[in-house]
Each structure stands twice: as C-alpha cells, then as structure tokens.
Amino acid sequence: MIPMMKSGTRLTPLALLERLVAFDTESAKSNLSLIAFVEAYLAGWGVPFVRVPNRAGDKAALFATIGPMRDGGVVLSGHTDVVSPAGQDWSGDPFRLRVADGRVIGRGAVDMKGFCALCLALVPEMLAAELRTPIHILLSYDEETTCLGVVDVIARLGADLPRPGAVIVGEPTGLDVADAHKSVATYVTTVHGHEAHSAKPALGANAIMAAAELVAELNRIADQMIARGDPSGRFDPPYTTVHVGVIGGGTVRNILPKTCAFEWEFRGLPDLDLDEIPRRMAAHAETVTRERLNRFGPYGSIETVQDASVPGLAPEPGSPAERLALRVAGRNRTISVPYATEAGRFQRAGLPTVVCGPGSIDQAHQPDEYITLAAFEAGEIFLRGLIRECAAGWSPA
C-alpha cells in the first residue's frame, strides 16, 4: 500500500514518478488506484478535476485545471497505462523505481509516467504563477492498445469542460516538436471453410488456401503503397506499411482445413484514407469467397474484425500548438515520429496538437526502461517555460 500525502504536500518530480511507477497499470489492468492517488494529490492543492470513467467502470481518465476555468488554455496530455514487462529480462522489480548511472529505471519511466510526474510536480508552481491562461492536465488510459482512453474527455471539451487552444501530448520526443505521425489500424481476418478428405477437395473448402489469396492481396497492396511513397519526404519508411504478423489454421495434412485466421495491420501516412485498405480487402474477400471457397458449393465465408484504429497526426504548419511548443522548447523546426499517439484523436476533434515530451522512445517498452536524469530535468525546464507563457497570458490567436 502506497501512503497518501498530506494536504498540499509538495513532492519532487522524482518522488512523484516513484509513486506513479509503483502502480501496476498495464493496459489489461485497472488504473483506478493511480487515479485515486492523483485525485488526492490535486485535492490537497485545491485543484479542481473531473474523473471520466470508461463504460465498464474499471478505468478512468482525469482532467484537471489550474488557472481560470475558461476556453483557450493548454492541455498537457499523458497516458497512465504501460506495456507488460512479462517475459522481459529486467534487472529488478519493474514497478520499483531506481536510479543508477544517471538513469531513472522503471516501467513507464519514459513512456510516459515521467511526463505525468513532471506535470503533477509543477502544480504548486502553476498555482503560484497565477496563470492568466489555464493549464489542463489530462491523464488517460488504454493508449498502448487503442488510444481510446481520451475519447470521452475530448467529447466534453467545449461542452461541460473548457475547450483548449492547444494540446501537447508528452510522448518522448527528446523535446523535439512532432507535428506528424502515421495512423495504425489492426485487424483479424477469419476464413471459414469446410472439412473434407484432401483427396476429395470438391467436397469442401480449404480455408488456408483461401487465406493465402488474401495475404497475397495484402502483399500487392503493400507494394502499391511503397510505389505511392511519401510526397512529404518526412517518414521512415517513406510509405504506408502493410503487415501480416500472425497466421494459423488446419489440423492435419490430409484434411481440408475448416478455419484459418490471420492478424494484420497497416500504418498509414497522415493523408491515407483509413477506409481504403480495408475496403480493398473486403472487395477481394468477396471474390475469394465466390471463386475459391464456394466453387463447389456454399461451403465458406470470410469475416474481418477491426481490433483498433488510431488516426494519424497531420502537419498543421503554424498552428497555435506548434508555435507555442517550438518557442518553449527552443526549436526552429518540427519533426515526424514513427509511432502512433493520442494526438490524432485531438486533431480529429479540431484541436491544434503536437507531440513533445522528454526522453527517447528508443527506451520505451524495453527491459529496464529508463529516462535519463538529464532528460527528466530538461522536461522540467520545458514545463517551467510553458508556465511562464501561460502566466503572461498566452493566446492561441
């Protein structure tokens, strides 16, 4: 049991990170204990907040406001869930923070409880600055799986919650300002055939052979995406990628397999129509069903289920979020990042959004995940610069 702090107790960023890392908030588990801890911390400082639970009630996002309760503020967004350390070779307890050789080690240290801890640790400074422009702290869930943990909060912005003028998603970018990343969509396709002796193929439908035609179509689509390329020249690799990661089916060699399922994904450039690839796959599945599975009778069918769909982040040159983050970070240009974030969901809602946070994504999801002390301190300096901007009355106009 982690003891709660006294009302208004000031904690260092490192002390807060230690508290946050100690909560096992793997995406498959509840984050409510962490949220309750943060609520108690904010309440101690008199900071108003709103808990936004998921439908099941076992997880929640948190939206807190420091400064005037009005539109036009800045959201600092971080997720509370982490990937599982299961099967990884950690040198210590993943949920017990430790400092060694200039590194702060623990699950979520860089992705992204470090950013969350910095935001919370600087709440007393935000209060003392008497902000003219509000700063909102948004803690979400399920970023590592679906990026849906911010959706219910976003729906309330401009309704019963203030609508911000800029959003900064604090994923690790080394404090470079990212204004673009690819989308991610994942699917499971299941081919249903009909079992028969392999010597009598006309008495059934071979699910694996039909699935092979679908995988071949994904290969063709992948090649076409490579040829289409990336006109912006900003992404690595410079095209939309298509990938099959898991496939399985059948029982023994001499029986036509009844089922075959495969898991696939695409990571699209920001301008890709998210319906294009699944639409093409659906059309090809109709052809395979008619010409392959049901060649000898009504034996088979194909179904595809989407696991997740995360929109990309498209560049918005000169947006309020970009101008603000570049100035505070001391950068003169933006970058793109190869991983997906919640930023695209904010942008889809019409909110100017960038990704900018301390540390390197190279250390995320790794055994002995870490953020360097230097990077952690740089994140603190960045947030203090943002506080000064909001104290001076930053405006998105």
Categorize the per-residue pLDDT at 6 as very low, low, confident or very high, splitting at 50, 70 and 90: low
pLDDT digits (tens, 9 = 90+) for 246-296: 999 999 999 999 999 999 999 999 999 999 999 999 999 999 999 999 999
For the chain, helix (H) and strand (E) counts, in that order, are 10, 15
Helix (H, G, I), strand (E, B) or coil at 88: coil
CATH superfamily label, 13-181+312-391 = Zn peptidases (3.40.630.10)
Query: If you average pLDDT over residues 320-340, what whole number do you get?
Result: 97
Helix (H, G, I), strand (E, B) or coil at 276: helix
CB 179 within 8 A of CB 316: yes
* pLDDT greater than 70 at residue 124: yes
What is the H or E stretch that residue 64 is in? strand 60-66
Average pLDDT, the chain: 96
- CA-CA distance, 52 to 55, in Å (whole number)? 10
- CA-CA distance, 78 to 137, in Å (whole number)? 8
Cβ neighbors of 373 (< 8 A, separation 6 or more) are: 99, 102, 103, 104
Q: Where are the domains of the chain?
A: 13-181+312-391, 183-310
CA proximity to 234, closest of 322, 174, 313: 313
State the residue for tokens 């422009």. 133
* pLDDT greater than 50 at residue 306: yes
- CA-CA distance, 189 to 305, in Å (whole number)? 6
Query: If you average pLDDT over residues 221-233, what whole number do you get?
Result: 96
Q: What is the dihedral of CA 318, 131, 143, 121, to 10 degrees?
A: 130
Q: Spell out the CATH class of 183-310.
A: alpha beta
Where in the sequence numbering do the catalytic residues fall? Answer: 81, 143
* pLDDT greater than 80 at residue 109: yes
The stretches of 315-364 forming alpha helices (DSSP H) are 320-329, 343-348
* pLDDT greater than 60 at residue 240: yes
Burial group, residue 16, by CB count within 10 angstroms (0-12, 13-18, 19+):
buried
Q: How far is CA 177 from CA 111, 160, 228, 269, 310, in A?
A: 16, 30, 27, 18, 20
Burial group, residue 340, by CB count within 10 angstroms (0-12, 13-18, 19+):
buried
- Does pTM top 0.85 for this prediction? yes
